[in-house]
Amino acid sequence: MKKCKKYLDFFWRVCSAHVVSYMIMGILASFLFNYSERFVAGTLRLYMLPTDSPLVALGPALQIIRGLIFTVVLWPVKNTFIEGEKGWLKLWVLFIGLAILGTAGPTPGSIEGMIYTRVSMAEHIFFLPEVVLQTLVFSIIVYNWYKRPSRVWNLVMGILFGLTVFFSTMAYFFA
């Protein structure tokens, strides 16, 4: 029973840290990099949905699925980045290597994407700041949540997680 609670705690921390960091960085990047115009022009229009698509609005709530996947994948190696010094850096490097640059599919910013797609090198590089910073924020949150556990973490992340899922779902239905 105790192991189940530890797993559920890990799921909560990983999932909420991912959903919240994804939403924050997504909003910032959307405005800073003008996604609404970039996603309807050039090769990106063939690759990305427009930002006013209902599915894009639901995207942050659907990140719960990725949070579950991250939990399952990271659980066996969690002590590597939770314990010891600079665990956040270990986790971040893992994400940069496997989830950003080394993906199996040709996603923007990945080595496969740079080799096998018609997306320009400038467009590949364009996507990197958002995902690199999002995974950095995610890694720092997860690491510090374990190093300095408190009810404040649960409260703040619970509120941010709840608001993200609520507004994302409402935006989907009203888009």
Q: d(Cα 8, Cα 85) in Å, to the nearest integer?
A: 24
Q: Which structural domain range is residue 157 located in?
A: 2-174
CA distance 15 to 12: 5
Structure tokens at 124: 């590949």
Q: Cα 59 from chain centroid?
A: 11
Average pLDDT per consecutive 10 residues, the chain (175 residues; last block may be shorter): 92 98 96 91 86 96 98 97 93 96 91 92 91 98 96 97 98 93
**pTM of structure:** 0.94
CB atoms within 10 A of CB 73: 13
Determine contact, residues 58/64, Cβ cutoff 8 Å: no
Distance CA 78, CA 7 (A): 11
- Number of domains the chain is built from: 1
